[in-house]
Chains A and B, each alone.
Chain A
Amino acid sequence: MVEESNVSSLTSQTFIDRLIRENFKFFTGVPCSLLSGLISYLEEIEEVRYIPSVREDSAVGLCAGAYLSGALPVLLMQNSGLGYCLNAFTSLNLIYRIPVLVIMSWRGQGGKDAPEHIIMGDINQKLLETAGMDYSVLKSENCDQVLETAMRKINEEKLPYTLLIEKGLFDERH
């Protein structure tokens, strides 16, 4: 079955290739070690560019500009950046109907991480829910289904969608 074959095949490479097939062409973000494999692969390939942003809210703006110009954008960031860009999401994306696919590492999940990640790890999902930002926790086995939901949100409702990435889902490159 398709679902079963994806369990073993979700890697940084297959995931980014899949996003490119979904027509995402514009990638930017602020790094996290949990996303380092994804960003390394983006820097290696020719088809798309990865643009380093200096802050997560600048990355939200950059993605908004890309979308307004007809390109589907992806924003990679650590959940610590959610605090920096919550106002950008609420006063730009949500009210203007400017979608973006957010790939957000879930640091501090389950209280097991460095001290600076614990509180955000705990409130991460609640913050997204409170702001009216739909999300899913991406897993190898739900990738197809979650991307289908994300694409519906982005293409039909024209709203952002967040994929939370747990530690260990993608390879880390240091």
Chain B
Amino acid sequence: MKGTEAFQELLPLLGDEPVVHANGYICRESFALKDREANFYMIGSMGLASSIGLGVALCKPDRKVIVLDGDGNVLMALGTLAMIAAEAPKNLVHVVIDNEVYESTGSQRTLSNSVSLEQIAKSSGYREAVRVDKKEDIKPAFEKMMNSEGPGFLLIKVEPCFDPKTGRVTHTPEEITERFMKSLRPAAGGN
């Protein structure tokens, strides 16, 4: 399956959950397909989507929190997998779109072709770590994880398909902060 197809499967399954996006391809593809107030688009600080998501999950224990990560980002911050496993937030679902390349910089290869990220997550201590290769398996795997105690790790293997003409996130960083925080406040339906 192409990366875009994975997003097309995944995005309609979202409700009002906060979703912290990794930089690069993940931000740009998700923004291009469906912008949401509860999306935190991390446009820089590569590797930190997982730690930002962990911070949100620990401070908002009654909200399901999603990290939408990439293989390059996960590899850059493998230590954060240990932090997530150690803190073990039940409300965190870590989804990784794994295209085995740094796609937005010209598709240079990462290491995830030979290193199994879901096995690293599992042996770190994530409650559940699942790998999905087929488009039709995304929905049941994601829904099961959203209805189970976390932390869960869902690795979706995709083929690179990024169109470099895909725009960048057009909201300013300050706007991203404001609307994401607003979506997390109790009045917006949170805890």
Contacts and interface: CB of A to CB of B under 8 A. Distances in A.
Contacts of A95: 44, 173-174
Contacts of B184: 68-70
Nearest to A60: B48
Interface in B70-105: 77, 79-80, 82-83, 86-87
A58 interface: yes
A50 B80 CA distance: 16
A51 interface: yes
A54 B48 CA distance: 12
Given A61-B52, A68-B40, A96 B59 contact: no
Interface residues of B, number: 36
Contacts of A92: 42, 44-45, 48
B80 A65 contact: no
Nearest to A67: B55
Contacts of B57: 65
B60 interface: yes
Contact of B58 (A58, A66, A96, A97): A66
Nearest to B51: A61
A16 interface: no
A51 B87 contact: yes
B94 to A, nearest CB: 13
A42 interface: no
B181 A57 contact: no
B interface majority secondary structure = helix
Chain A CB within 10 A, most for which of B20, B52, B173, B180: B52
A142 interface: no
Contacts of B185: 70
A18 to B, nearest CB: 22
A135 to B, nearest CB: 20
B181 A65 contact: no
Nearest to A61: B51
23 contacts: A54-B82, A55-B77, A57-B48, A58-B48, A60-B45, A61-B49, A62-B51, A62-B52, A62-B54, A62-B55, A65-B54, A65-B55, A65-B56, A66-B56, A68-B40, A68-B181, A69-B56, A69-B59, A70-B59, A73-B55, A87-B46, A97-B173, A97-B174
Interface of B: 20, 40, 42-60, 77, 79-80, 82-83, 86-87, 173-174, 176-177, 180-181, 184-185
